[in-house]
Amino acid sequence: MSRSAHPAGPRHADVLPEGHYTAPAADLNVLDPKVWSRTVDRDERGVVTVGGIGVDALAEEFGTPAYFLDETDFRARCRAWAEAFGKDADVFYAGKAFLSRAVVRWLKEEGLNLDVCSGGELATALSAGMPAERIAFHGNNKSEEEIRTAVEAGVGRIVLDSFQEIVRVAHTAQSLGKRQRVQIRVTVGVEAHTHEFIATAHEDQKFGIALAGGQAAEAVRRALKLDGLELIGIHSHIGSQIFDMAGFEVSARRVVQLLAEVRDEHGVELPEIDLGGGLGIAYTSEDDPREPHEIAKALGEIVTRECGAAGLTTPRISVEPGRAIVGPTAFTLYRVGTVKPLEGLRTYVSVDGGMSDNIRTALYDAEYSVSLVSRTSDAAPMLSRVVGKHCESGDIVVRDAFLPADVAPGDLIAVPATGAYCRSMASNYNHALRPPVVAVREGEARVIVRRETEEDLLRLDVG
């Protein structure tokens, strides 16, 4: 979002409370391929299509609001990540971004592994046939039951997040007569978001075991002593929506330093490191994400250099992108219900969903873009705020964006790049029915997660 002079002139510029806004130079009818999934286009009628199907037909068949997931794009992104990291590294898709059984099958077919962080995600993965050895199990407070299920299933790794958990997993594995492969999640004193990272001495957060004060070294000491555990490596995750590799550089250096300390103290070279996820995507035209091959090259070089300097054999690297795979592959389709111009401020465009299908704007002040998709328009750009239908004034989907001034009730508008952390964080606030996820591929659309019904809500309410 750029802020300078509003197109409507001084009348608006005088009173806009949060800065001034420049109408985009680009034609509002043009869809920026950076923020839309790869098979999105406009047909000869001006209607936006995905996988060759018009949004008018999709709205007719599946209703609104709804998430439309471009399966072709999702699979292509999986392949790009797998190819970029190659045979000597592992890519784990972070299921928290969005998980369903169809997604698990696509991941399996495209050669990716899966990171889950709850019993529910693990059950989804196993029920869709993901081989257990390709699953990593995360979480800062896994229940005894979750640990037992994961060990019994034979997950490829459990990422240990606390001293208590080291003992719990070891005990469970031993009681089942197993030796569980584990990594220890460390906090490296780096926090990274978008173009900035902050290196701190101590970590003030719930995840991981701090490198600072020798806690992580102590965790390694304890894990190495327990028969139920096979310690295979160290894990670090530093933030989200990151474009700059500088934070990863500091994180890798600190993790490698720990590997060197472990070698010196125990005579053991741990064979794996995981650098987590957090890689950024384009939510608006101003975001410039890196391609998977650039990320793979940069991370490979950092780790190889740091290990070389420490005299260590380079460990096997793994990463856990969630947003960077699924985020750009979906858009949310809404129907406009009301249009309310506020003189001198902006126009509120209300849609039939809101914070229950996209909490990120309210929660993180996330930025999104939006387009009129049921037709083209030559009307002037109008500073708009896309809001939902919930009883909450913070119920904003797109804070500030330009829509054509003739946008009207009945129009379809769509918010791109909603594949990650929208359906997975959706709620029933105001007893909203969570929207369906519809996968679209080569002219075919099918529901992969169905729309909730009032019967679904009432079934849980046992009276």
Ligand X SMILES: Cc1ncc(COP(=O)(O)O)c(C=O)c1O
Catalytic residues: 391
Distance of closest approach, residue 25 Cβ to ligand X, in angstroms:
30
Q: Which is nearer to ligand X, 228 or 292 (CB)?
A: 292
Phi, psi for residue 120 in degrees, rounded to 5 = -65, -45
Distance of closest approach, residue 418 Cβ to ligand X, in angstroms:
13
Amino acid, single-letter form, for residue 313: T
Q: Which is nearer to ligand X, 84 or 97 (CB)?
A: 97
Q: Which is nearer to ligand X, 120 or 443 (CB)?
A: 120
Distance of closest approach, residue 95 Cβ to ligand X, in angstroms:
9
Distance of closest approach, residue 322 Cβ to ligand X, in angstroms:
3
Distance of closest approach, residue 258 Cβ to ligand X, in angstroms:
17
Q: Which is nearer to ligand X, 277 or 404 (CB)?
A: 277
Angle between helices 101-110 and 119-127 (to 10 degrees): 60
Which residues, other chains included, contact 53 with Cβ-Cβ below 8 Å and sequence gap of 6+? 440, 443, 444, 445
Which residues, other chains included, contact 60 with Cβ-Cβ below 8 Å and sequence gap of 6+? none
Q: Which is nearer to ligand X, 148 or 237 (CB)?
A: 237
Q: Can you give the binding site for ligand X, defined by CB under 6 A?
A: 94, 96-97, 115, 138, 237, 240, 276-279, 320-324, 420
Q: Which is nearer to ligand X, 276 or 292 (CB)?
A: 276
Distance of closest approach, residue 116 Cβ to ligand X, in angstroms:
11
